[in-house]
Amino acid sequence: MPAGSRDAAGPRIQQKSPSRGFLFPGWEIGLEPTTFGTTIRRSNQLSYTHHFVRHGCQTGRKYNPGGLPTLLCACMHILVLPKWYPGLPDPQLGDFIRKQMLAVALQHQVSVVHVCAVDGLGEARRQELDTGSGAWELHAYYRHNRSPWAPLRKAINLRRYRKATAAALERLIQERGRPDLVHAHILTRPAFTAWLRARTWGIPFIISEQGSTHLRGTWQRKHPLAKYIDRFLCRQAAAVTAVSPHLAAALEKAGLGRHHAVVPNVVPGMDLPLPPAGPANHFMVVADLVDDVKNVSGVLNALALARSMGHDLRLEVIGGGADAEKLRSHARSLGLEDHVRWRGRLAQSEVRPLMARTGTVVVNSRFETFSVVTGEALACGKPVIATRCGGPEAFITPVNGVLIPVGDDQALCAALVQMAGEHRRYTPEAIRSSVGSRFSPEAVARGFDEVYQKAVGRGR
């Protein structure tokens, strides 16, 4: 989408005259973003009040307009290259990464370039820009090739990915200037792009990992060349961060960096009104419907078992994925048609109101690197039944929920029945207070700020 064109998803923002009174002519800081004939799409998701203008941030701290040494600047321009990010194909995918980067935007100027293939895209490439949430977020979509011949399909899609990336980064430089650091999320393509651009621009780059592939053995089964490239990129990075100590240990064991900084995900909603406790017999699952990871079929099995024992329990499922139809069929085979409601994929802004009305959230995963859903449920004052799968253990206590073994339908059934019977003792106020401030946007911003400062210092 060329600059100056109209985006049907949002309003056209008119150009403003730059201020002359703040540090340097042509650099304005204010409550609304200055744009230069660019069309933007406003977001109704997690928002902060900080807006950015070209190469400065509204934190009251010094910033680098391009000519000053970064050493003098507390606020840096961070280019974020995520593999996953909420957008056209999936409004939920990578929402945890977005929350992290909007938290970083509390202290730094954040520019996100998300390059993503879309099936059936009407044009070869499309750009959508969102500046309504505190960061400059550019979605660079390209049409996904579906050739049945894998080598041809991969070659075409790689070429389209590179073209979409080049166009998006050219727009970034024109509208935002050169970044001070590149932050790649999830191996391999974003990290490879970060490495190439960091070399070209003479700046450091870091890698953040959140993928459960390192926990469930998928990464270990990759081609040796692919694993070599990943290890090379981690060696070249100024830092590699993990979202939990559990994941950091797995990365180090795989040779993907050492001495990882652990920066958690943001748990949003701690400052929102606390909803009342929901119905004791209502349970909710929020997950990608990929059953070998999320084990939603186990929740259905446990629900059917509990109902066969005379307990009137009900389930709501939010999410979509490759196994959605298979799971619906499994629910029908268990006689649960009238007792399970399938919501499909929803934007994050639509999930919280539904979560506020449920009684208990269930996380039955086989692997989790962090489990944002667990944190969001606790922030909403909802008790959680979760497996000991690597992430929820950091949250769950006897005050706010129940931990069960992985893959144990009988234990899950017992936990569902127990929770329904003892629901009153899990008070929303106590559940929320159990989370504390460890996962606040400010805490996450401080964590990444420390990583950035060290990375930039190492690059000098």
Q: How far, in Å, CA of 373 to CA of 349, rounded?
A: 14
Over residues 127-149, the pLDDT tens digits come to 999 999 999 999 999 999 999 99
Dist CA 126 CA 197 (whole Å)? 22
Question: Phi-psi region for residue 310, left (φ > 0), alpha (ψ -120 to 50) or beta?
Answer: left
Residue 30 has phi, psi (to 5 degrees) of -160, -175
Count the Cβ atoms, other than its own, within 10 Å of residue 425.
Answer: 10
Q: How far apart are CA 202 and CA 181, in angstroms?
A: 9
Nearest in space to 55 (alpha carbons), one of 64, 46, 67: 64
φ/ψ of residue 411, rounded to 5: -65, -40
The angle, 0 to 180 degrees and rounded to 10, between the axes of the packed helices 348-357 and 372-379 is 50
87 near 116, Cβ under 8 Å?
Answer: yes
Instruction: Determine phi and psi for 252, rounding to 5 degrees.
Output: -65, -40
pLDDT at 436 (0 to 100): 83
What are 358's two structure tokens?
A: 């449920």
Question: Taking Cα atoms as reference points, which of 79, 107, 70, 52 lies closest to residue 178?
Answer: 79
Which pair of tokens denotes residue 389?
Answer: 């799968």
Q: Which residue ranges of the chain lie beneath pLDDT 50?
A: 1-56, 58-73
For 52-266+440-459, CATH number?
A: 3.40.50.2000
What is the structure's pLDDT at 74?
62
According to the model, what pLDDT value does residue 349 have? 86
- The reported pLDDT for the residue numbered 215 is 87
**Calpha distance 284→294 (Å, rounded):** 13
Say how many C-beta atoms besides its own lie within 10 A of residue 178's C-beta: 16
Contacts of 213 (CB under 8 A, 6+ apart): 219
CATH number of 282-433: 3.40.50.2000
CA-based angle 417:419:425, to the nearest 5? 145
The confidence score (pLDDT) of residue 433 equals 93
52-266+440-459 with 282-433: one CATH topology? yes
Q: CA 24 to CA 176: how far, in whole Å?
A: 16
Task: Give the contacts of 377 (CB within 8 A, at least 6 positions apart).
Answer: 355, 361, 383, 384
Annotated domain spans of the chain? 52-266+440-459, 282-433
> Percent of the chain beyond pLDDT 90?
75
Extract the tokens encoding 77: 């321009």
Give the span between the Cα atoms of 89 and 214, in whole angstroms: 24
Q: Which residues contact 454 (CB under 8 A, 6 or more apart)?
A: 238, 239
Tally of CB atoms within 10 A around 227: 18
